[in-house]
Amino acid sequence: MKGENSKRPIGVFDSGVGGLTVVREIKKTLPEEDIVYLGDTARVPYGTKSEKTIKKFAVEDVMFLLKYRVKLIVIACNTVSSVALNFLKETFPEIPIFGVVDPGVKEALRVTKSGNIGVIGTIATIKSGAHEKALLNAKEDLKVYTKPCPLFVPLAEEGITQGKIANDVISLYLHDLKGKIDALILGCTHYPLLKKAIKGFMGSDVTLVDPAVEIAKTVRSFLEKNNLLNNTGGELSIHLTDVPPHYKELIERFLGQKVNRIFQVELTGCEGGIKL
């Protein structure tokens, strides 16, 4: 049975194509795993939605991936990981579900020397307080600085990741954090595309923590522990609820490679009547 289950794909979902930065890291770490990716591009962004709506959308995302008999699900969306992870685990106890908050928090705790940690993300992610709670639960005497940076998302999607415009926006959001922290959690899947510019502004004394890198390690550890590693796969299929005109460019930007298996899908009815 374990041999059969190992060949089942990994499911990954996000509100858009930003979660492909997570897929990129999983593929680096686990190149022979099949991956089914869902980007809810018709309803992006989740970061400005209410908690109830985020949970509703997340349930529909999970229901869609379950149709592909995935062996685990990675919530590549920081907003859903912050707002709805426990809710999804309770709703779908039959499938292992991993969010990107805890792996990033653990790495920030490992690398900080001063105990001063920054967290940036969408409005909903920062409002949820998920990173801050997890950090302070682990160590009470930390100082945690949080900042929503909503304009980082369009910058990443437009490919404006360096230069004056990017630097001005980064300065606008992060000037209050500069000089106060030595670790910064990039709490949105889009933000790694701005990593170089953010690092340039914050300085060499600040370690940037990319949760995408850390969740890939977490997934590998889980698969190894449960004898679920696949050694014969490597296919990636991308499913989008809307296909914007520049989708190929976006996918290549976030994933770092070209792909052929791209499908437009509907999520209507996937909620299955689950009470929110």
Q: At what angle do helices 247-255 and 20-29 cross, to 10 degrees?
A: 40
Q: Is 190 annotated as a binding residue?
A: yes
Q: Is 189 annotated as a binding residue?
A: yes
Q: Is 61 annotated as a binding residue?
A: no
Q: Alpha carbon of 150 to those of 27, 120, 170, 217, 233: distances in Å?
A: 27, 9, 11, 27, 36
Q: Is 53 annotated as a binding residue?
A: no
Give the number of other CB atoms < 10 A from CB of residue 8: 18
CA contacts within 13 A on the Cβ side of 37: 31
Q: Is 15 annotated as a binding residue?
A: yes
List the 236-240 sheet strands across, edge first: 97-98, 72-75, 10-14, 35-39, 236-240, 262-264
Give phi and psi for 49, each to the nearest 5: -90, 165
3-class DSSP state of 117: strand
Q: Is 78 annotated as a binding residue?
A: yes
* Residues labelled catalytic: 77, 188
Q: Is 47 annotated as a binding residue?
A: yes
Contact 32, 97 (CB under 8 A): no
Q: At what angle do helices 78-91 and 101-111 cross, to 10 degrees?
A: 120
Tell me which amino acid residue 244 is.
P
Q: Alpha carbon of 148 to those of 49, 99, 122, 177: distances in Å?
A: 14, 19, 5, 12
The whole-angstrom separation of Cα 130 and Cα 223 is 26
| Binding residue positions | 14-15, 46-47, 78-79, 189-190
| Binding residue positions for substrate | 14-15, 46-47, 78-79, 189-190
